[in-house]
């Protein structure tokens, strides 16, 4: 139950498309940070959202339990404020124990969805 990964992760390309097609939550346009905590202690996560032309928004706080994965949808963040759609942003994800993050977007603005994923920058 070793804590694998890093404590600092950065997704530079953030953008939640403002429209969706298709049935239900699965096909709603969304952006996720999938976070895996392989270790035996819970991971306390703190996210900062950066914008083009205003002060960063933070902190967004949540916990990823020991030996669990959590697929965070940025669409679901509400405290301290929701992330506006159709707006450029970036995300800094800090954890108090090492975790692994992967970034994904599903864009369903058009009738056939598009997908992209990457491992973010970490250190």
For binding to a second copy (CB under 8 A), which residues are involved?
4-5, 8, 10-15, 22, 26-27, 32, 34-36, 38, 50-53, 55-56, 67-71, 86, 88-90, 92, 100-105, 107, 109-123
Which of residues 53 and 79 has its CB atom nearest to a second copy in the complex?
53
| 3-class SS of residue 1 | coil
CB of residue 33 to a second copy, shortest distance in Å: 8
Q: Which long-range contacts (CB under 8 A, 24 or more apart) does 22-26 make?
A: 22/108, 22/111, 22/113
Q: Which residue has the tokens 């159709």?
A: 86
- At residue 26, φ and ψ (nearest 5 deg) are -60, -35
CB of residue 56 to a second copy, shortest distance in Å: 6
CB of residue 108 to a second copy, shortest distance in Å: 9
Residue 23: alpha-carbon gap to chain centroid: 22
CB of residue 112 to a second copy, shortest distance in Å: 4
CA dihedral 108, 82, 64, 69 (to 10 degrees): 0
| Beta carbons of 104 and 32 less than 8 angstroms apart | yes
Which of residues 55 and 79 has its CB atom nearest to a second copy in the complex?
55
């Amino acid at each position: 139950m070793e804590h694998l990964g890093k404590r600092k992760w950065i997704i530079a390309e953030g953008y939640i498309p403002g429209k969706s097609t298709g049935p239900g939550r699965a096909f709603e346009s969304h952006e996720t940070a999938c976070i895996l905590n392989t270790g035996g202690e819970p991971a306390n996560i703190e996210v900062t959202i950066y914008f083009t032309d205003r002060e960063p928004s933070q902190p967004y706080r949540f916990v990823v339990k020991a030996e669990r994965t959590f697929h965070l949808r940025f669409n679901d963040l509400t405290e301290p404020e929701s992330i506006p759609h159709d707006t450029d942003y970036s995300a800094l994800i800090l954890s108090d124990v090492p975790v692994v993050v992967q970034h994904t977007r599903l864009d369903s603005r058009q009738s056939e969805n598009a997908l992209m994923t990457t491992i973010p920058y970490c250190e």
